[in-house]
A and B are shown apart, each in its own frame.
Chain A
Amino acid sequence: MAHDPYTIMISMSLDGMLNAEEEQELQRHIRTCDTCAQAWRDMSLVETMFKAQPMAAPSPNFAASVMAQVETYEAQRRWYPWFALLVGVLVVAAIASIAGPILFFTYGLQHVLLEVPLVATLVGYAAQAYGAAQFGVELAVTMLADWLNLLTTDPIALAVVVAALALASTWIGLLEGMKLSSAAMETTG
């Protein structure tokens, strides 16, 4: 005998899903079939066991923990748009700083921009400032090179520089010594 239709009916009966006629048919079958009667007893046992179990309860601080997580989430949500904006600005700035000059000079855009008077004036000032800075650096480098060249090739010049440095350090030492002795006299006096 096929038991499957009746075991399905047992399950439905336990859930109250059978009508009166189906329920009677099932009970008739169970009385004559040991296999289905055993299935009925086992499923009923499990049913009783499970239904006797009360709801498990969480720890007493559960609700507080949930609300703490909600608060953290809210704080992150408040800051997120600003953080996203900052990251966006930084990314755009990084791309512009690399791609901008390349596009600017690749497509000759400087001529278009230089037609705007304000831009032309600013570029003019920037070019003058750049030229002045370049001249200053070049002059300093040349002077330093000349001095180094003079010191390494002319012993008299080297001796004069060394003597000047020695004299300067002696004077500095004497002045510092005088300051210290006067300070000591003030404290003892």
Chain B
Amino acid sequence: MIATEDQELVARVLEGDQVAFAELVEAYQRPVYNLTYRMLGEAREAEDAAQEAFLRAYQHLERYDPQRSFKTWLLSIASNYCIDRLRKRRLTWLSIDEPLPPHPALNSDVPSPEAATLSGERSEAVQELLSDLAPDYRAAVVLRYWYDMPYAEIAATLDTTESAIKSRLFRARQMLAQKVQSGGAPGLLVAMESA
């Protein structure tokens, strides 16, 4: 969907046309869901988060600046929501003083929606690597790899500076490389062999 179409749909939604919003949901459900899934690592939680992102976008649509890309604005809402959720999750884990559970993607009883289309081993290896990154770093990595966003757009999405994004991506890559070097992601090697 091109940007001008988005602006037209947004204008129609602001006039009370819910069908126009349904079109926006259809167009961006996959990018938004992919972001929440890569950030949170669990299918059901990711669906909840993606739905919440769309609902928040609908509730605050009058704040949307038509000069900006609607997709970037939407992803910004989703990523900020996921970052908050990950921080709360971390606080909950720390407050109950229990050992960290295994990554949700590995023990979820809900079949992943992408299971039919993605290679499970590679997907798990990637999620395992992502799960070790701090929420801010994770968001930068996801937006860089899956959305191919330049630094400036990632910075706009995460409401920060380009130099901060450059630093986050560098630190994140360093951590991921160290984990690969130390054999901390065994699924990665299996996945690369089968790739």
- Which A residues are within 8 Å of any B CB, using their own CB? 7-8, 10-12, 14-15, 17, 38-39, 42-43, 45-59, 62-63, 65-67, 69-71, 73-74
Contact = CB atoms under 8 A, between A and B. Distances in A.
Nearest to A53: B126
B117 A49 contact: no
Given A66-B51, A69-B51, A52 B195 contact: yes
Contact of B21 (A43, A52, A67): A67
11 contacts: A8-B170, A46-B173, A46-B180, A50-B146, A53-B123, A55-B146, A56-B33, A56-B113, A59-B113, A62-B50, A66-B51
Interface residues of B, number: 49
Interface of B: 18, 21-22, 25-26, 29-31, 33-34, 37-38, 46-47, 50-51, 54-55, 58-59, 112-114, 117-118, 122-123, 125-126, 129, 141, 144-146, 151, 166, 169-170, 173-174, 176-178, 180-181, 188, 191-192, 195
Given A42-B177, A62-B47, A63-B25, 15 more contacts: A15-B169, A17-B166, A49-B192, A54-B118, A55-B31, A57-B117, A58-B33, A58-B46, A58-B113, A63-B22, A65-B47, A69-B55, A70-B21, A73-B55, A73-B59
B181 A38 contact: yes
A15 B166 CA distance: 9
Contacts of B170: 7-8, 11-12
Given A49-B192, A56-B38, A56-B114, A73 B58 contact: yes
B86 to A, nearest CB: 17
Contact of A58 (B47, B123, B173, B176): B47
